[in-house]
Amino acid sequence: MPKRFSLDKLRGRTPLVWIWAAVIISLCILVSAVWMSPLATYIGGPQLPLPGPAQLAVAPPSPPPEEPQVQVPAKRSYLRVGSISTEGLGSTLHHFKHSIVLAAALDSSLIFSWDVIYDAKFEIDVYSTSRIWNGEESPIGNRAPSLNMDARKVCRISDHVRSEDRAALVRGICSGEDSASSQMEKIRLDMQDCTSIVDTEYSEHTQDMNGCIMGWLRDRLAPDSHFLPSTLSLPPNRPITVGVHIRWGDTRSDFKELAGTQLYGSMALPNVVRILKDIRDSPLGEHGVKLTVLMQLQDPEVLAILDETELNYTVVDSGDTVGDLYKLSNNDILLVGESSYGVLAHLIAPPGLTIVEMQAHLGKYTNTSGFGRNVVELDNYTPNDLLLAVGNSMSQLEEEQADLIP
Ligand SMILES: *[C@@H]1O[C@H](CO)[C@@H](O)[C@H](O)[C@H]1NC(C)=O
Ligand SMILES: *[C@@H]1O[C@H](CO)[C@@H](O)[C@H](O)[C@H]1NC(C)=O
Residues 6 or more apart in contact with residue 363 via CB below 8 angstroms: 207, 208
- Give the Å distance between the CA of 15 and the centre of ligand 2: 123
Rounded to an integer, what distance in angstroms lies between the CA atom of residue 44 and that of residue 402?
A: 81
Q: Is there a domain that residue 70 lies in? A: no
Residues 209 and 267 in one domain: no
- Give the Å distance between the CA of 290 and the centre of ligand 2: 11
Please count the other Cβ atoms lying within 10 Å of the Cβ belonging to residue 68.
7
Please count the other Cβ atoms lying within 10 Å of the Cβ belonging to residue 362.
13
- Give the number of whichever ligand sits closest to the CA of residue 367: 1
Give backbone dihedrals phi and psi of 160, rounded to 5 degrees, phi first: -120, -25
Question: What 8-state DSSP symbol labels residue 157?
Answer: G
Q: Look at residues 178, 195, 221 and tell me which one is the last residue of a structural domain.
A: 221
Residues 304 and 191 in one domain: no
At 376 the three-state DSSP class reads strand
Q: For residues 231 and 351, is the Cβ–Cβ distance under 8 A?
A: yes
Q: Is there a domain that residue 194 lies in? A: yes
Residues 110 and 212 in one domain: yes
Residues 395 and 259 in one domain: yes
Q: Is there a domain that residue 270 lies in? A: yes
* Number of folded domains that form the chain: 3
Rounded to an integer, what distance in angstroms lies between the CA atom of residue 179 and that of residue 229?
A: 42
**Which domain covers residue 276, as residue numbers?**
228-404
Four-residue CA torsion sign, 308, 312, 318, 322? negative
Pocket of ligand 2 (CB under 6 A): 288, 310-312
Q: For residues 194 and 103, is the Cβ–Cβ distance under 8 A?
A: no
Q: Is there a domain that residue 67 lies in? A: no
In terms of C-beta density within 10 A (0-12 exposed, 13-18 middle, 19 or more buried), how is residue 326 classed? buried
In terms of C-beta density within 10 A (0-12 exposed, 13-18 middle, 19 or more buried), how is residue 332 classed? buried
Rounded to an integer, what distance in angstroms lies between the CA atom of residue 191 and that of residue 86?
A: 34
Give backbone dihedrals phi and psi of 370, rounded to 5 degrees, phi first: -165, 170
- Give the Å distance between the CA of 312 and the centre of ligand 2: 6
Pocket of ligand 1 (CB under 6 A): 174-176, 208-209, 211-212, 363, 366-367
Instruction: Tell me which residue has its CA closest to atom 12 in ligand 1.
Output: 209
At 16 the three-state DSSP class reads helix
Instruction: Write out the chain's pLDDT in tens, 406 residues.
Output: 444 544 444 444 455 655 565 556 555 454 444 444 443 333 333 333 333 333 334 444 565 566 667 777 778 999 999 776 567 889 899 999 999 999 999 999 999 997 777 777 778 777 888 889 998 877 788 889 999 999 999 999 999 999 999 999 999 999 999 999 999 999 999 999 999 999 999 889 999 999 999 999 999 999 877 667 778 888 898 999 999 999 866 666 555 555 555 666 889 889 999 999 999 999 999 999 999 999 887 888 888 889 999 999 999 999 888 999 999 999 999 999 999 999 999 999 999 999 999 988 999 999 999 999 999 999 999 999 999 999 765 555 556 555 544 4
pLDDT for 262: 62
- Give the Å distance between the CA of 311 and the centre of ligand 2: 7
Instruction: Tell me which residue has its CA closest to atom 10 in ligand 1.
Output: 175
Q: For residues 205 and 213, is the Cβ–Cβ distance under 8 A?
A: no
Residues 34 and 50 in one domain: yes
Residues 341 and 295 in one domain: yes
Q: What is the position in ligand 1's atom list of the atom closest to the CA of 176?
A: 5
CATH number where 243 lies:
3.40.50
Residues 52 and 161 in one domain: no
Question: What 8-state DSSP symbol labels residue 93?
Answer: G
Residues 6 or more apart in contact with residue 272 via CB below 8 angstroms: 244, 306, 335
Q: Look at residues 195, 221, 247 and tell me which one is the last residue of a structural domain.
A: 221
